[in-house]
Amino acid sequence: DAGITQSPRHKVTETGTPVTLRCHQTENHRYMYWYRQDPGHGLRLIHYSYGVKDTDKGEVSDGYSVSRSKTEDFLLTLESATSSQTSVYFCAISGTDTQYFGPGTRLTVL
Amino acid sequence: QQQVKQSPQSLIVQKGGISIINCAYENTAFDYFPWYQQFPGKGPALLIAIRPDVSEKKEGRFTISFNKSAKQFSLHIMDSQPGDSATYFCAASLPSTGRRALTFGSGTRLQVQP
């Protein structure tokens, strides 16, 4: 998985609780992305980062925030988890055009 | 708004046959078109990619055909094998500096029967 780890790999939480997912890379790539994968929708961009402390919104950013204080780490936070945020979350990195994906985090919000 | 439409949703092919998956895009500014392969429980992995200045790209048994005027591109898997059974996603990205985020199709689940 191109030097990308995600933690946790699985998480079950309750509606209304905050959740933070972590993506860690060892490739020193500038760009990092968070996608969610849902049946019938492919993968959809939540947020992305083009450098330390430089982030921007994707197409499904409502209810999510991100932070990148170091090149290697990109955090995704669900401020108050809802059942509609039950999904598989993938982190990706890229130096140029090619994006490499991590193994994913399966999140279930009850 | 779904900018990349993928078909079929699922596909069953016999071993040795040709698998064909099609995608259509709307935004003519897209300039990079990758295909990803995903196995259950894994992240998507880049299979092959093309830019709109060429009409075809081949890597082993995998070929992308690109039709710029029709705004369509397709993946052909020759001599399909059971190990090719996976979900395939087409995608597209814009030449925006600092972004390069991918817009994905909805995916095709391929099953190759022995």
Residue A98 is predicted with a pLDDT of 86
Mean pLDDT, 10 residues at a time, over chain A (110 residues)?
89 97 95 93 92 90 95 96 97 88 96
CA distance to A10, A93, A109, per residue, from A17 (Å):
16, 28, 9
Q: Are residues B89 and A42, on separate chains, in Cβ contact within 8 Å?
A: yes
DSSP code, position B43: -
CB contacts, 8 Å: B89 with chain A: 42-43
DSSP code, position B32: B
Task: Give the whole-angstrom CA distance, residue B113 versus residue B91.
Answer: 26
Q: Are residues B42 and A42, on separate chains, in Cβ contact within 8 Å?
A: no
B14 touches B101 (CB < 8 A): no
Task: Give the whole-angstrom CA distance, residue B6 versus residue A9.
Answer: 28
Residue B1 is predicted with a pLDDT of 52
Strands of the B4-7 sheet, one edge to the other: B4-7, B19-25, B72-77, B62-67, B56-59
Q: Are residues B6 and A42, on separate chains, in Cβ contact within 8 Å?
A: yes
| Mean pLDDT across chain B | 93
Nearby residues of A1 by Cβ (< 8 Å), 6 or more positions away: A100, A101, A102, A103, B43
What residues of chain B have any CB closer than 8 angstroms to a CB in chain A? 4, 6, 32, 34, 36, 41-46, 49, 89, 91, 93, 98-107
By CA distance, what is B97's nearest residue in A?
A50
Task: Give the whole-angstrom CA distance, residue A9 versus residue B58.
Answer: 35
Residue B99 is predicted with a pLDDT of 63
Residue A96 is predicted with a pLDDT of 78
Q: Are residues A44 and B32, on separate chains, in Cβ contact within 8 Å?
A: no
pLDDT in tens, B48-91: 999 999 999 999 999 999 999 999 999 999 999 999 999 999 99
Q: Average pLDDT of B2-16?
A: 93
Domain A4-109 has CATH 2.60.40.10: yes
- The answer, for A72 touching chain B at a CB cutoff of 8 Å, is no
Domains and CATH numbers, chain B: 4-113 (2.60.40.10)
Find, among A58, A62, A70, A57, the residue nearest to A30 by Cα: A70
A22 touches A73 (CB < 8 A): yes
Task: Give the whole-angstrom CA distance, residue A107 versus residue B76.
Answer: 34
Find, among A95, A83, A87, A81, the residue nearest to A25 by Cα: A95
Kindly state the tokens that stand for B84. 């090719």
Kindly state the tokens that stand for A11. 């998480």
Q: Are residues B44 and A97, on separate chains, in Cβ contact within 8 Å?
A: no
| A90: nearest CB among B41, B43, B107 | B43
| B23 pLDDT more than 60 | yes
Residue B94 is predicted with a pLDDT of 84
Q: Where are the domains of chain A?
A: 4-109
Residue A1 is predicted with a pLDDT of 53
